Amino acid sequence: MTAAEPVLDLTRQLVARPSLTPDDAGCQEILRQRLLAAGFECETLRYGDVTNLWARLGQDPPLMALAGHTDVVPTGKIERWSSHPFSPETREGFLFGRGAADMKAGLAAMTVAAERWARKRSDRTGSLAMLITSDEEGEAVDGTKRVIDELCSRGVEIAYCIVGEPSSFQRLGDQVRIGRRGSLTGRLDVMGRQGHVAFPERTPNPIHATAPLLGALANRVWDRGNASFPATSFQVANVHSGTGAENVIPGELTADFNFRFNTEQTPAALQEEVETALRPLSSKFQVELDWSLSGMPFLCCRGRLLEAVRESVLEHVGINPRLSTSGGTS
């Protein structure tokens, strides 16, 4: 048996569970049983529909945590898949299935690593924990944040943490993420009244009025980034309008958009810029704009953990990883 086979076997077990966020679908129970057998103390924390697992081995400092999530995003139309998303299949050296990369393979690798660490615990110092949630792909309010609040109330101090999300770019280990941009989401509701397409002079069209303004925001250069972070980006994620009929001017429009912002920006400043840009809509429509801040930019300080990760990647993969803050935090 190769060193990778236990990881692949566990990954297949997890991928076979249809854990559409926030449903864990039994993934954490699989991991809990394995961690219990390895000597970990395990605790399940449920908040509403969200399941979280906190497992710890040892009480001595420093405490290292391995963090991840069992939930996955929706599959879309299953008939568009080459194989069933929850029937893991290996083709041409790749494992296919919903969550195989994000992030059930990471969970499997961390669990197998935790089991191996436990077997050699007498040679180790400190303690090891795993924090696993089913609330990362969705609203992400009853998952890691809630568990951390609970742990802090108990006086638990986590000295180091590794998140097993897929971070490589072209090959395994070529990047280590040491921070992420913040995430700010806006929802725009533009409300007017319906009309007939034959009489556009009587009824303002919310699509015609809103699209150029959103396009201008999308094409705007918000900043150039800095030494630690890439540039701030603005992306429109969803636009909904119309009745489905081709002869009706829609009475309303809803648009969702997102900023991934660096330390050159603040949420308040971005909100003000968008609200100013969309102000012309108010002359013809009722406008509502709601905001949700899901994370601020953060940057990991260099130290023992980062150096240990770089040395480990170099030893086992043979490359010196690039330090990156690309992507975003949710």
**Tens digits of per-residue pLDDT, 113-158?**
999 999 998 878 899 999 999 999 988 899 999 999 999 999 999 9
Whole-angstrom distance, CA of residue 71 vs CA of residue 135? 6
**Can you tell me the distance from the alpha carbon of 170 to that of 136, in angstroms, rounded to the nearest whole number?**
24
Asked about 201 being catalytic, the answer comes back as: no
Q: Which residue has the tokens 């290292």?
A: 64
Q: Are 116 and 128 in contact (CB under 8 A)?
A: no
**Annotated catalytic residue, options 23, 24, 136, 142:** 136
- Beta strand 175-177 with 322-324 is parallel
Encoded tokens for 15: 């991928």
Cβ 177 vs Cβ 229: under 8 Å: no
Count of CA atoms in the C-beta half-sphere (13 A) of 80: 5
- Chain-centroid distance of CA 6 in Å reads 26
The per-residue pLDDT for range 175-218, each reduced to its tens digit, is: 999 999 999 999 999 999 999 999 999 999 999 999 999 999 99
Look at residue 325 in the predicted model and tell me its pLDDT.
92
Cis? peptide before 18, omega within 30° of 0: no
Domain boundaries, the chain: 5-166, 181-295
The residue from 71, 135, 137, 142 that is catalytic is 71
What are 23-81's pLDDT values in tens digits? 999 999 999 999 999 999 999 999 999 999 999 999 999 999 999 999 999 999 999 99
Q: Where are the beta strands (DSSP E) in the chain?
A: 41-47, 50-57, 63-69, 89-91, 94-96, 127-133, 160-163, 175-177, 179-180, 182-191, 195-196, 233-241, 248-249, 252-261, 286-295, 298-299, 322-324
- Residues forming a β-bridge with 287: 190
Q: Fold identical between 5-166 and 181-295?
A: no
Contact 14, 104 (CB under 8 A): yes
The structure tokens listed for 233 are: 């980006």
302 compared with 313, residue with greater pLDDT: 313
- Helix count and strand count (H, E) for the chain: 7, 17
Token reading at 112: 């197998």
Gap between the Cα atoms of 148 and 152, Å rounded: 6
Query: What is the structure's pLDDT at 26?
Result: 98
- CA atoms of 151 and 143, how far apart (whole Å): 12
Rounded to an integer, what distance in angstroms lies between the CA atom of residue 175 and that of residue 160?
Answer: 19
Strands 94-96 and 89-91, by their bridges, are: antiparallel
Please give the mean pLDDT across all residues of the chain: 96
pLDDT band of 253, cuts 50, 70, 90: very high
pTM here is 0.83
Superfamily of domain 5-166: Zn peptidases (3.40.630.10)
Fold (topology level) of 181-295: Alpha-Beta Plaits (3.30.70)
Which alpha helices (H) appear in 180-261, and where do they start and end?
A: 206-219
Active site residue 71: yes
